[in-house]
Every structure is written in C-alpha cells, then in structure tokens.
Structure 1
Amino acid sequence: MSENLPVVTLKGVSIRRGDHLLLTDFDLTVHEGDFIYITGCVGAGKSSILKSLYAEIPFAEGKAEVVGYDMMKIKRRHLPKLRRQIGIVFQDFQLLYNLTAEENLDIVLRAIGVSKKAERIKRIKEVLERVDMSNKGYKRPHELSGGEQQRIAIARALLGRPKLILADEPTGNLDQKTGFEITRLLHDAAQKDHAAVLMVTHNRALIDHFPAQELVIGCE
C-alpha cells in the first residue's frame, strides 16, 4: 500500500460508448509515484479508461476523482485545468509535423500559460535532456525515427510537471529495444517525479523486464 496521496480514485464506475457498456462496477486507486500496466484483450475497455480519466469519455455511474476533480460533476470550463495536470502519450505520437521538436514543446507551454520565453526555453531544455534528445530539438518529426518521436512525445507529457501520465500503447509502433527505452523513461517519471503512470500495453516482454503492478481488464 502506497503512503503517497491518491491521484485517481474510482469506485463503482461504469463507462459507456453509445449503447455499448465497456466497464461496470469498476474500482481503481492510483497514488503518487505508482506505475500500473493496464492489460487485457482487445475491446475490453483499456484505452477507454484513460480517455475517461482525461474526460474525453464521461463516466456513466459511480464515484470518480482525478487529480482533485470530481469527474461526475466537472464543468466544461474546468477541463483545461484538469488536463494541465495530466500528461498524455499516444501510440501514434501526435506531433505537429510542420513544427520542430522544440516548437512542438513550446506551443504546449504557451497553451498552459507559461508566458515568459526564458521559462519556456528552460523547461524545454530540461525535458529534452530527460529523454536524451538535447541535440535533436531543431528537427521536425519526419526527420526523426519513431523512437525519437516518442521521446519527444514523452518530453511533451512531462512539460507541465503532471501529477498523472497516461500512456496508451506507447511502444506499439516501435521495435523491442526502442520500446524498452521508452518504458524506462516512463518508469523514471514515476520514480523521479512521483507522477502516477498508467500504461496500456499488450507487450509481456516489457512487463517482465520492467516489473510493476498490473491491472488486467477482462472480456466477456
């Protein structure tokens, strides 16, 4: 049992997409510094859990609190503040291809209200160093390998010093060696920054190499 504060508390929640009930009576508690793999078969609702945590899919029932917000009552105007405390890493990177890596990071800092250029430069330098990409910040995504693009995506997730990082199959498009490197970076975020990390994956080799708590979502 972690002694750190809870970042996510779900009790008896249900998640629906249209008429399709994805999860029902689901409980989950995640503390600061926890690293949890979410596994299970295709269509079980793994990615939907992450989407509900950042309010893309609403919880249908139950009690849900994420980084201090009551997700059953949260107002649309509060969603940006919620999401500023959450870092998201997607399988397909979702970088802006007309911008350099540094510009991809800078636009995020502007969006979350970091107005001073010197502060933005400092933060960008810090996160690029964290992901071993200090010498690649001038490149555009098409000039980077898939692993390098995902490193930039992790740097982007770290920019706001989030309490919670959600990673949806972040190694799905990468070879095993690169996948291990990306998973190590996410574990570092939990250990060094005390961020809670939830990582959806189907890759048993990653879990065996970097052991952590595993949440298995079953199928009917």
Structure 2
Amino acid sequence: MGTTEPTFKVVLLGEAGVGKSTIFVRIKDNVFTDCPERSSVGIDSCTKVVTCKNGIVKLCIWDTAGVERFRTLTRNYYRNVHAALLTYSLDNPYSLALLSKWAEDVTYFSQAASIFLLGTKSDRRWKVSEDSARNFAIRHECSGVFFVSAKTGQGVDNALCALAEKLVQLYDKSSVTPAETRSWLTDTLESRNTTKSSLCCS
C-alpha cells in the first residue's frame, strides 16, 4: 500500500448497551465477545483497511468505550470526523428513539460529518422494523442504513465496504491526508483512560 489511500475518521455513537464495543471488537479483531475487556473507561480506536470498488480505503474507527455513560464526550472526539455511525440495538426500540439526541450532537460538533445508521444484534428477534429505521434515517438525513451482528459477523464487512464507498463519493481525496490520520491517532492516545471507572460492556 502506498501513502495515498484516503483515510476517514468514523465515530461510533449511541447509548450504552447497544453493542458499540462488541461491534468495534468485531471490526478490530474479527472476534466476538459478550464483554469486551477495558482497563478503564476511555476512547479506543483502530484502523480498518477496506478494499472496495473505489480501491483501498482506510477507516479510522473510534469507540466511546463507555464514556457516553458520563456524558463527557468532548469536541475533540468529533474533531475532523467524516462519518458518525449512530448505533442502536434492533431488539430495543427505545435505543433508536434516543439517537435523535446523538444526531443533534453530530450536527452541533461536526457539521460536515455524514451520518449513517447502524442497527446491531441482527441475529436476535427484531423489535425495530426496517421501515422504522429507514424513516429515522430520512428524518435525520442519514447517508446509509446498515444492519449487523457482532456475534455472527453478518453484515459487518458489507457495511464497512458500503461506508467506505459512500465516503469516497462524498469527500474529495485531497481533503483526506495521511498527516490528518496521524493527528487523529495522537488525539486518540491522549484521550484514552480519561476516567478511572471500570466498564464491562457498552
């Protein structure tokens, strides 16, 4: 790989318990765990290389890792964000309703970011219909809707590829540079372990 692959910063957002961290671990390590281990509550990140029809794309994915429990997400988390994955659980209708607040936060902190809707736990019985998800996406001008399972891995690769392809379409490659990527990773390291409370799953 050269140094010209476009790299996009993607943040996972949503209420605690919807499966953000299990999805993050599935993306990062391609494994499933009911309770991702965290030494503390803080920001975590990984870089995922995706090969799609537009070529190689890098997604720098950030996970709140429990910080959303304390409402301490700062402007730094949203800095230089290209996409926000609003995450809810398909077996919990309330988790979708609560995403309106997260959508407002994205608009406030990162007006240029594209919003995508991510339904997790697709291996369980759905209590949120696909129509409800798509109606939410229309109301909040989401650029895509994905349904995935961290447990089985179903839909995860397809969602990442579709996300990468959409971002390449939405953004000029010249605005996404390796230098920006390095600054994101530095921000991530500085943001980790910002609080001392322990966390099981988020």
Same fold at TM > 0.5: no
Tell me which structure has the larger Cα radius of gyration. 1
Which is richer in strand? 1
The TM-score with structure 1 as length reference comes to 0.32
Higher RCO (C-alpha under 8 Å, 6+ residues apart): 2
TM-score (norm 2): 0.34
